Amino acid sequence: MAETMGKSEEEMAKAMLASGLIGVFIATRWTFAAEVGGCQAEGGSAAAMAAGALVTMAGGTLPQAIAASSLAFQSMLGLICDPIANRVEAPCLGKNVLAASNAVSCANMALADFDPLIPFDQVVDAAKNVARMMPREHRCTSLGGLAITPASLALEQRLSERKLKSCATGCGSCS
How many beta carbons lie within 10 A of that of residue 67, not counting itself? 27
| pLDDT attached to residue 88 | 86
pLDDT block averages, 10 residues each, the chain of length 175: 95 98 98 96 98 98 98 98 93 95 98 98 98 97 97 96 80 61
| pLDDT attached to residue 174 | 62
| pLDDT attached to residue 170 | 67
HSE-up of residue 158 (Cα within 13 Å, Cβ side): 8
Please give the model's pTM, rounded to 2 decimal places: 0.91
Helices (H), the chain: 9-29, 34-37, 39-57, 62-74, 92-111, 120-133, 150-168
| pLDDT attached to residue 84 | 97
Over residues 5-15, the pLDDT tens digits come to 999 999 999 99
Beta bridge partners of 81: 139
| pLDDT attached to residue 168 | 73
**Rounded CA separation 69/114 (Å):** 12
| pLDDT attached to residue 70 | 98
| pLDDT attached to residue 98 | 97
